[in-house]
Structures are given as C-alpha cells and as structure tokens.
Amino acid sequence: MKTRIEHDLLGNKEVPMDAYYGVQTLRAIENFAGISGYTIGMFPNYVKALAMVKWAAAKANFELGLIPADITNAITAACEEIIDGKLADQFPVDMVQGGAGTSTNMNINEVVANRALELLGHQKGEYEFCHPNNHVNLSQSTNDAYPTSFHLAIILTNKEVVAEIKLLVDSFRRKAKEFEHVLKMGRTQLQDAVPMTLGQEFEAYAVTLEENIERLNAAAKLFLVENMGATAIGTGINSEPEYAEICARELRIISGEEFVLAPNLIAATPDTGACVSYSSELKRFCVQLSKVCNDLRLLSSGPRCGLNEINLPPMQPGSSIMPGKVNPVIPEVVNQVCFRVIGNDTTVMMAAEAGQLELNVMEPVIVYALFNSMQMLTKVMDRLRILCIDGITANVDRCKDMVMNSIGIVTALNPTLGYENSSRIAKRALTENRSVYDLVLEEKLLTKEELDNVLRPELMIAPKKFYKKK
C-alpha cells in the first residue's frame, strides 16, 4: 500500500496515500479502534453536520479577510461534497474517544483540507497550501466546533425519529378504525375490568405515542443554542470579535436551522444540559413504547391458552424444540431496544455530571449514546410498523365471548341493580362458574329485554344516562 509521510506533535507517520484523513486521524484509529464498534461515518447526519460547521467557519473567516477566496472556495466545495454524502468512508474514528472530541474535529479538518488540496490542484498532504489547523480549523477549537456539530446532528436526526413516530401512530390509528366495532374486555391489574372496543385500545396506543412528538421537538430546540467563537473555554481567544455572530449567521444559512449564539460562551462550552433533556424525552418515549409492546404480546398470547384477542403476523418459527410455536419477535426486539435507550439515558446523565470546570471531556460518550438511541429507535419503529402493526388481525368472536362470559360486565349493571346486588351476582357467577347474564335473569332482577338493553355494546363503552328499574 502506497503511503505518504505526515507529521504532528509526536512525530512522523505513514498515512495511506489514498486516505483523505491524516496523521491525527490515524493516531485516533490506533488508539480507539473498536471500542464502541461505531465510527463517525456510521452516522451520516453527524458527518453532514461536521461539514456544515466547517463550511460556516470558512465563510466567516473569508468575510473577515482571514483566508483568501481560492482556499475558502476549495474548503466550502469540499464541505458541500461531504454534505452530499461523499467521502463517508473517510471518517473511521470510533465515536467513543478520549480528548473531548479532538479526534473527531481533526478527522473532519483533515478530510476537508485534503479534498480542498485536490480541488486546488495539489496533492494530499501538501498542507502548506491548505492546512487542517491553520485554514479549516481557523478561529475554532474542538470545544466549540465539536458541540455545535453534534447539536446540529441531533436536530437533523430528531426529524427522522419524529417522522417514524408519526408513521407508527398512523399505523395504530388505522387499526383503531378497523377494530372500532370489536367488543372486548378491558383489564386492570391483569383482571377483568369493564368492556371496551379493540379500536379504543389501539387509539389509546396512538395517542400515547403521538404526544411524544411535541416533547421531542421541544427538547430538540434546546440544541439551537451554539457556541461557535468560544474557542477553547469560551473567552474567544484566537478569534476576531465579529467572528461568532458571522459564523452563527452562516450556520443558519447552510443548515436551514435557526441557530442562535449562546449569551455566555464560557457557560455554554461545558454545558450538556440539552443532551440530558433530550435523552430524558427519548427515555420517556421508550417507556411508553415498551409498555405498548408488552400489551401486544399479552393480547396475542396463546393461541389456545392465552388471551388470543389479536393475531400478530407470524415472522419466524419460535422454537428449536417445540413444533408449531411462533413467538412475538418484533415486539420483543422493540422491548430490547427500549431497554438500551433507557440505559443510554443513564450514560448521558452520568457523563453530563462528570463535566469539570470549563469543559466536559465526556461529551463523546454522550454523543454516541444519543446517536445510538436515535438510530436504533428509528430502525426498530420501522420494523414494528411494517412487520407487526400493519398486519395485526382481531379474533372478533374470541373477544366477544370473553366479554359475555366475564364477571366484569356486572359493572355495567351496577347503576341499575345497585352495588350490593351486583356484588352478590358477581360472587355467585364466580363460585358457580355461571354467567352474570344468566344469573340476573334467574333472579328476575331484570327482564331479558331490560338486560339486553343495559348490556348493549354501545352503552358499555361510553358514558350514558343511568337506567333505573322501576
């Protein structure tokens, strides 16, 4: 393999000739390879965000007369290629790294510089014409470029998460409409409660998940506060007074997002509060999504010895020893992803707390945890919708039979018969293994016509005027 020689503070190293990254990225590969198993390049929105920040910085530096037009144009052109998805394989640094993100920042600096060199008619590594630090990283530090980049990446990725939630909600809502006339027994504490429809149950799932959209979007807006121009610790050393505001303007232009400069850059530089808030909302969503999947597994349990009210699409054989067994594998994998996201939230919380003085060096694991959560959630919601929810069918007769044979329908008689009579009927039904319906008729508490009227399905699933026996 052909190589070129590059040098840094620690000396010379051979870098693959065709690599757009340079010596500092190579050292990061050697130091951190395989720690998480996830590289920067595995998160396209992150790579895009890094390039957008470098684009904005180059534009600001040019406006201030700090870099000439030809170098600016080459840097921004290189950034635009990366934004368009090119050179994605040139970001091999592991997401979890020491150095507070310096390896990530140098990875983008080197890739942009070397591609800009090519556009200028030079060879990779000829940094005297366009330097990763002197030109691409001009007026910046890892400590402002890195957090601003992942802020933007989270905003971009949140849109994908929310889009998947909307699709999932729509799927549940279609099922709610399909099942709106399927009478079934509701349950509390896993015991028979009162009748409802399967449509009501699925609409409740849709509403439960849908309410998280607004909360996630609100939390994502916290990332619109950026600290470009803070440089090392927020004092702005090595940047010009106008740079921060110009860079913020250019960042708004390239990203289309309404970024604002933090009012206090020293406070903003180590602050990871937005990460804590957003991670908490992801956790909240996963707690609710996991509960919904628990319900789907219960409702489809059986098929002979469980609730068996719904059928999940059969996806694969369920046992290496039990013929005919089919497991609810899609809800199960969603549960597991939710557990991972909840665990990632703990990681974010601990890493945010571990910040010290003017910097939080634990930001890389925060970024990895958040992107891992969002990526897994986006993928698994797609699987849940397509492979499970869209194909659910109802066992209509089974649902109705359980309602009519349930002790729970006695609750619907409570306003008419009174609590004492209803309790006695319920106890007899349970003890004698008989239906509430038959016992009410046997004791002549209501006529058949009166009983059928009280127990009409449409009257048991919504508020109604009491029927009092005269």
Distance CA 412, CA 407 (A): 10
In 198-329 the beta strands, taken as DSSP E runs, fall at: 225-226, 260-261, 310-311
What is d(CA 230, CA 242) in angstroms, rounded to the nearest whole number? 12
The residues near 320 (Cβ < 8 Å, ≥ 6 apart) are none
Distance CA 33, CA 28 (A): 7
Q: What are the start-end ranges of the E strands in 302-351?
A: 310-311
Q: Beta partners for 188?
A: 191
Contacts 24+ apart (CB under 8 A), 119-128: 119/74, 119/77, 119/78, 120/70, 120/71, 120/74, 123/4, 124/4, 124/17, 124/19, 124/20, 125/4, 125/5, 125/6, 125/15, 125/22
User: Which phi-psi region, left, alpha or beta, contains residue 256 (left: φ > 0; alpha: ψ -120 to 50)?
Assistant: left
Query: Of the listed 279, 290, 301, 319, which one is catalytic?
Result: 319
Q: How many CB atoms lie within 10 A of CB 66?
A: 16
Helices of type H across 33-68: 44-63
List of residues 6+ apart from 287 with CB closer than 8 A: 338, 342
Angle, in degrees to the nearest 10, between helices 142-178 and 243-255 = 30
Catalytic residue list contains 319: yes
- Residues labelled catalytic: 319
